[in-house]
A and B are shown apart, each in its own frame.
Chain A
Amino acid sequence: MEITVKTAQQLRLTEEEFEAIKIKLGRIPNFNELCAFSGMWSEHCSYKNSIKWLKTLPRDGSRMLVKAGEENAGLMDIGDGLGLVFKIESHNHPSAIEPFQGAATGMGGIHRDIFTMGARPIAALNSLRFGNLEEDKTQHLLSGIVHGIGHYGNCFGVPTVGGEIYFDECYHTNPLVNAMSVGTVAIGETVSAIASGIGNPVMYVGSATGKDGIGGASFASADITADSTHDLPAVQVGDPFQEKKLLEACLEVIQTGAVVGMQDMGAAGIICSTAEMSAKAGTGMRIDLDKVPTRQNNSPDSRKDMKAWELLLSESQERMLLVAQKGREKEVQEVFAKWDLPSSVIGEVTDDGILQFYMKDKLEASLPAIELVLGGGAPQYERVYTAPGYFALIKKFEPAVVPVPADLKLIAEKLIRLPSIASKRWIYTQYDSMVGTVNSSTNAPSDAVVIAIKGTQKGIAITTDCNSRYVFADPYVGAMIAVSEAARNIICAGGHPLGITNCLNFGNPYDPEVYYQFVHAVKGMGDACRKFDTPVTGGNVSFYNQNPDGPVYPTPTIGMVGLLDDIHRKMTLDFKKEGDVIFLLGVTNNDINCSEYLHKICGIEYSPTPYFDLEEEYRLQQKLTELIHKRIVLSAHDISEGGLFVCLCEAGFNGELGFSVITNNSCRKDAFLFGEAQGRAIVTVALEKVQLFESVLTDFPFEKIGVVTGSELVVDGDFWGTIDWWKENYDTAIETYLSKEEAGLALNTI
């Protein structure tokens, strides 16, 4: 087979990249080698169009135990000899084509990133984006993705404890599935993804390799078109039972002390894990691909046997590459045999920095490891960017074109039932949220989920946040808001923000307007992270979330973790008793910009970001921390989508308590009730502590807006019904959108 630039282009490499490969190798690559570069230099593995900007993010902190991007996930010190390992990752492209397996393997992949470092995953979150819920396609995607996440997570046995779901037209063809996993590990027992020690055996452990997911990394590095379903083999198939056994076996094998390094096989399979582990140590490997366990082994037709390039690129799930100490292979194999998992020695570490792959003693590929990887020979590009044209439409918006509605209660009733605002009950009850017995939020909810760290008094607060419409309106400010909201949620749960992981979902980076969104979102994220002292510990970039109709909203999802020294002192979001006084912390603004109210109810898509000031936000969070630590407030809940009214309802639902509030005359009533100006939170205070509360806030804006009632909602003296009515509408809204088939209701009567 003659290898030409055309072959390279068919493998999604550019002409320039093909030339670069020839220079690096000093010859024309063979097909196997070209496939290796295709996978490793894909956007997904190489970060070639993003790394320049990612390096501008704050990536240092006193608690960070590994540098950002250096290992499979971030690792932070939480005291008591424990490290917290966490990461968020996208699985958007597979989920768009095959929602069930796409989402399931997304969960599998992110958990492997955690336990490959020696940590036990203790909590999972997911951040999902869909199109209009009234569309059949959206219902199909929602049902499949939720089913896939539940199928994998429930069986694997790690609780799905939180996340977020938004519905917006721009995600119709390109849904987003971002999965986050958090684990703990004893410091000193972590494992690095490194292939050191010349002569050490390279071992393959876990499921056998099949033809699934071949080319997945490069598939995820292209736009989704009508022809994308032809790429179905690029979608992997997951087996959570194998992964559960792999988890237990990996944690057990680490205890033997025979493991030198370990890395999961995710995107670009064997070629990626061998290249990255070798490049990190400056070593090479000699690998016999015949020794890789395959599913195709017994085929009588040898044409069906897997080829070298297929073995190199297969993204079959639930597999690990492990480098053991020479002479201790048997100890490793015994552990995997105990868990009924295949393991085999497939090669050894060499000293020349070259990856050599053999099949039937024939050299199939010979590649310098360093030339394949990010930070080595992988290309790094600077892309041009220009301000998007739609910014003109955003600037033109005048709130005056929206008259204040006469019947605000009617607006509130619509708002509480919007899919992005309504309860996600139909979704989260399909996830096991309690396995592991660490989820303290089941019976006492907070703005961020609070997870107990067994064996200590500590708790971990975790949240994922990104309002992508704000980022669309202004990528710099919108990304700052995403970080700020995450921090505000951690603070409202009584935690102290530690760090973030990010999942940057954007359109095609070769589109200068998309790249503008990316660059400015990264800048905003960096500035906000510096303010809150929350370094970026890792994450991933997903470009090409785009179809012929255009890109998705720029969606830089923030996964943030925070620490509570004493979990018993966590703060919750719900009203505690009738008669408690409700205060609004922060500045009341005459602002309806970018709100769910303006977009979904008034039908105005283009408006600027809501009011936001990073300095004020920071001061709010400091004040909240002081109030919570001094035990002056009984509940704290931040104001986000849906504004003050939705915030008050959410605080009332858990204890079925209502509220009576007076609107502020200084601004439009719709802005007061439904506006989404940032830097605000609702707290409740017992009557006897009101004086103390006010004395702490002499230097901070706040207003008393009402009291907690037994069950009724009263706004400016008007009776708005009782909390149970609002709760029923909030809880059941999403179910009523779904067809009976998708909701599972048709079979309810059997």
Chain B
Amino acid sequence: MKFGIVVFPGSNCDRDMYDALHDDLEQEVSMLWHKDRGLHKFSTEDCIILPGGFSFGDYLRCGAIARFSPMMQSVIEFAKAGGKVFGVCNGFQILCESHLLPGALLRNGNQLFVCKNVFITNGSGSLHKIPVAHGEGRYYADEKTLDKLEANGQVIFYYCDERGEKTNPANPNASMRHIAGICNATRNVFGMMPHPERACSSVLGNTDGRAIIKTLLMAEELVSDHG
């Protein structure tokens, strides 16, 4: 499989994602410009990544303008055809604005930008230490949507403490039900606020992000079971 990373004006984690995938996970990666169109070089076995940053400055709602980029129209088609799409931070916000994922990301509960390590779990025993860095990461959806997400196993990560408990102090932005990341019903579109690409290199003293990228995007069973 190979990866494509969409570069919007204001993307600032695009190169970090490239380095994590290319240098640390030794994958084939290419950059895609937001003004271009067409993903004919990619098959549904491949993965398109929407990186973190402040696309178009995020002066309007985060991701609200990026969703109209020419490349995003191709990404939406790609996702609907079953291709894998992964959004991190601003990428997650763009996926919600594009309605490829349900819900929205609101200003953090305390109204302040937050950058620190947090712990996340898939709810069934996994535990990873991953950095967050965002001002608008409070996941919000109506109760019915939240119930449905949880019933379908579409919540891929919850914020938790170092013991895996979903406590309030461990929720960095007051997300509803501690939700840190979700996927769509067909399990080919994934979005999360924490940055796994910031935890892939041994020089950074944290390689927990590698397992997240491998499990979410590169595991055979995900592709065959749900693709």
**B residues in contact with A744, CB < 8 Å:** 110-112
* Binary A-proximity of B196-219 (CB < 8 A = 1, otherwise 0): 011011011110000000000000
**A residues in contact with B35, CB < 8 Å:** 338
Shortest Cβ distance from residue B124 to the other chain A in the assembled complex, whole angstroms = 26
**Which of B12-20, B73-81, B153-161, B182-190 is the interface stretch?**
B12-20
Residue of B nearest to A248 (CB): B9
A437 touches B (CB below 8 Å): yes
**A residues in contact with B84, CB < 8 Å:** none
- Let me know if B114 and A437 touch, CB within 8 A: no
CA distance A306 to B204 in the complex (A): 50
List CB contacts (< 8 Å) of B46-75 with chain A: 52-54, 56-59
Q: Which of B57, B109, B198 contacts A155 (CB 8 A)?
A: B57
Shortest Cβ distance from residue A151 to the other chain B in the assembled complex, whole angstroms = 8
List CB contacts (< 8 Å) of A225-253 with chain B: 239-242, 244-245
B41 touches A (CB below 8 Å): no
Which of A433, A747, A749 neighbours the largest number of chain B CB atoms within 10 Å of its CB?
A: A747
- Let me know if B114 and A430 touch, CB within 8 A: yes
**B residues in contact with A338, CB < 8 Å:** 35
Residue of A nearest to B112 (CB): A744
- Contact A435 to B9, CB < 8 A, known contacts A429-B114, A443-B204: no
- Let me know if B9 and A437 touch, CB within 8 A: no
B38 touches A (CB below 8 Å): no
Shortest Cβ distance from residue B132 to the other chain A in the assembled complex, whole angstroms = 9
**A residues in contact with B174, CB < 8 Å:** 748, 750
Q: Which of B57, B111, B115, B205 contacts A432 (CB 8 A)?
A: B115
List CB contacts (< 8 Å) of A195-241 with chain B: 239-241
Residue of A nearest to B56 (CB): A241
Q: Which of A241, A437, A745, A750 contacts B16 (CB 8 A)?
A: A437
- Let me know if B16 and A436 touch, CB within 8 A: yes
- Let me know if A434 and B10 touch, CB within 8 A: no
A454 touches B (CB below 8 Å): yes
CA distance A42 to B131 in the complex (A): 45
* Binary B-proximity of A413-454 (CB < 8 A = 1, otherwise 0): 000000000000000111111111101101110000000101
**A residues in contact with B116, CB < 8 Å:** 429
- Let me know if B12 and A244 touch, CB within 8 A: yes
**A residues in contact with B114, CB < 8 Å:** 429-430
- Let me know if B12 and A157 touch, CB within 8 A: yes
List CB contacts (< 8 Å) of B105-149 with chain A: 109-117, 131, 133, 135
Q: Which of B56, B112, B115, B200 contacts A434 (CB 8 A)?
A: B115
A380 touches B (CB below 8 Å): no
- Let me know if B197 and A437 touch, CB within 8 A: yes
- Contact A437 to B113, CB < 8 A, known contacts A155-B57, A239-B57, A244-B10: no
- Let me know if A437 and B115 touch, CB within 8 A: no
CA distance A244 to B90 in the complex (A): 16
- Let me know if A437 and B133 touch, CB within 8 A: no
Q: Which of B110, B117, B198 contacts A437 (CB 8 A)?
A: B198
* Binary A-proximity of B168-186 (CB < 8 A = 1, otherwise 0): 0000001000000000000
| Interface of A, helix, strand, loop or mixed by DSSP | loop
B166 touches A (CB below 8 Å): no
- Let me know if B110 and A748 touch, CB within 8 A: yes
Number of interface residues of A (CB under 8 A): 39
Shortest Cβ distance from residue B209 to the other chain A in the assembled complex, whole angstroms = 10
CA distance A455 to B125 in the complex (A): 36
**B residues in contact with A750, CB < 8 Å:** 109, 174
A340 touches B (CB below 8 Å): yes
Shortest Cβ distance from residue B52 to the other chain A in the assembled complex, whole angstroms = 8
**A residues in contact with B13, CB < 8 Å:** 157, 435
A154 touches B (CB below 8 Å): yes
**A residues in contact with B59, CB < 8 Å:** 241
- Contact A340 to B131, CB < 8 A, known contacts A157-B53, A429-B114, A437-B201: no
- Let me know if A244 and B198 touch, CB within 8 A: no
- Contact A439 to B9, CB < 8 A, known contacts A155-B54, A429-B115: no
Which of A428, A442, A567 neighbours the largest number of chain B CB atoms within 10 Å of its CB?
A: A442
Shortest Cβ distance from residue B193 to the other chain A in the assembled complex, whole angstroms = 13
Residue of A nearest to B12 (CB): A157
- Let me know if B203 and A241 touch, CB within 8 A: no
Shortest Cβ distance from residue A165 to the other chain B in the assembled complex, whole angstroms = 17
- Let me know if A748 and B57 touch, CB within 8 A: no
**B residues in contact with A706, CB < 8 Å:** none
- Contact A440 to B10, CB < 8 A, known contacts A155-B58, A241-B57, A748-B174: no
CA distance A240 to B135 in the complex (A): 15
**A residues in contact with B111, CB < 8 Å:** 744, 747
A130 touches B (CB below 8 Å): no
CA distance A157 to B201 in the complex (A): 19
A330 touches B (CB below 8 Å): no
- Let me know if A435 and B113 touch, CB within 8 A: no
Closest 5 CB pairs of A and B: A157-B12, A241-B57, A443-B205, A744-B110, A155-B54
The chain B residues found within 8 Å of chain A, CB to CB, are 9-10, 12-13, 15-16, 19-20, 35, 52-54, 56-59, 109-117, 131, 133, 135, 174, 195, 197-198, 200-201, 203-206
The chain A residues found within 8 Å of chain B, CB to CB, are 150, 154-157, 239-242, 244-245, 338-340, 428-437, 439-440, 442-444, 452, 454, 567-568, 744-745, 747-750
Cβ contacts A to B, 13 pairs, < 8 Å: A154-B54, A155-B10, A155-B57, A241-B56, A430-B115, A434-B195, A443-B117, A454-B19, A744-B110, A745-B110, A747-B109, A748-B109, A748-B174
19 additional A-B residue pairs with CB within 8 Å, beyond A239-B57, A744-B110: A154-B115, A154-B135, A155-B57, A157-B13, A242-B57, A339-B9, A428-B115, A429-B116, A432-B133, A436-B16, A437-B204, A439-B204, A440-B203, A442-B206, A443-B205, A452-B204, A568-B203, A744-B112, A749-B109
